[in-house]
Amino acid sequence: MSKRTYGIWLFSALVLAWLFWTDPDKGDSTKDMLLNLISVGLAFTAAHLVRKFYLDYIKLQEHVEEAKKGNIGSGLVVLGTIIFTCVAALIFSTRAHAADVRTYVPVGAKQYCPMLMQEKDKLWPDHPDPAALCSLVEQESCISLTHPTCWNPKSRLKTSREEGAGFGQITRAYTADGRIRFDALQAAKQLEPSLNEWTWSNVYDRPDLQLRAVTAMNRDCFKRLSRIVTDPAEVLRMCDAAYNGGYEGMQQERRACGQRAGCNPQKWVANVANVCLKSKTKWKGYGASACDINRGHVDFVFNVRHDKYLPFVRST
């Protein structure tokens, strides 16, 4: 092995050691990065094999030599082959990077889902389905499972009309003239005295209080709705819809359901879920309507993201 090869391996080992040493997630982020690099390498290997299979008749090296001599036809062949290979690699890479939302646990969840379970134990020890709290945070904060804001207390959605903060996207909304129209942080503080020190100036710096607020808000809804809806599983789904779209809006939909033949306001699936009074016009930039987003929220929290968080519940 040449000195150059030794140097490359040594430099790579040092870089790898530095990445693990500085990893804030005890190696998990570095492992994810390495898996991504490996998947990219495998994607280009697969693309090369596909190119060899479908374009084997093209003597690429000969065309490269001809292109160097100024042969435009050979140059176009080389360019076309490169484009074919890159497109194939992109296809394979996209498939390789597509994390399965049902099974892949984001890096941040491994740190903060246990913290959320601790808050749940303090505020709501008899929660009937604690994994739903973790899947709710994922639904709120994860644009994708590998996005920097996923399970990140610094997650922020800011527009001219509203700001959503942290794990639960705690929201404050503004009127057209800049006055605060709605402040979920202040509302959460009224539900739980231990949130007293939480403010908009420290909202992104207190992951514990963010998770406490998520727990308190869902606990309050559960207590209110359990007085009139008997099945805890149905209550949780309705409260998830309320977390996303508002308690009063959810209650109006229950009331409308009760006025329809065959619709049971005690049940969410195939009953209240089918009576959506929210806007069905697609929002610009979202590609979905308020109704689609609200119903999709419940579906993803309980039917898609939920089960992978059960081990976190069992370990607490």
Question: What residue type is 116 in one-letter code?
Answer: L
Predicted pLDDT of residue 211: 98
> Residue 171: exposed, middle, or buried by beta-carbon count in 10 A (0-12, 13-18, 19+)?
middle
Predicted pLDDT of residue 259: 96
Distance CA 177, CA 81 (A): 57
> Number of C-alpha atoms within 13 angstroms, CB side, residue 99?
19
Predicted pLDDT of residue 149: 93
Q: Are 193 and 181 in contact (CB under 8 A)?
A: no
Predicted pLDDT of residue 102: 93
Distance CA 198, CA 178 (A): 22
Predicted pLDDT of residue 96: 45
Q: DSSP code of 300?
A: I
Tell me the CA distances in angstroms from 274 to 74, 171, 256, 260, one per residue in order: 60, 27, 10, 11
Torsion of CA 311, 313, 133, 291, to 10 degrees: 40
Q: What is the pLDDT along the chain (316 residues), one digit of tens a residue?
A: 666 666 666 777 776 676 666 655 456 556 555 655 665 666 567 666 766 666 676 777 776 777 677 778 766 766 777 787 666 555 555 444 456 899 999 999 999 999 999 999 999 999 999 999 999 999 999 999 989 999 999 999 888 788 999 999 999 999 888 899 999 999 999 999 999 999 999 999 999 999 999 999 999 999 999 999 999 999 999 999 999 999 999 999 999 999 999 999 999 999 999 999 999 998 877 789 999 999 999 999 999 999 999 999 976 5
Kindly state the tokens that stand for 183: 């402040």
Predicted pLDDT of residue 45: 76
Cα angle 310-307-229, degrees, rounded to a multiple of 5 = 90
Predicted pLDDT of residue 95: 46
Q: Are 161 and 174 in contact (CB under 8 A)?
A: yes
**Tokens 């819809």 found at:** 241
Predicted pLDDT of residue 302: 98
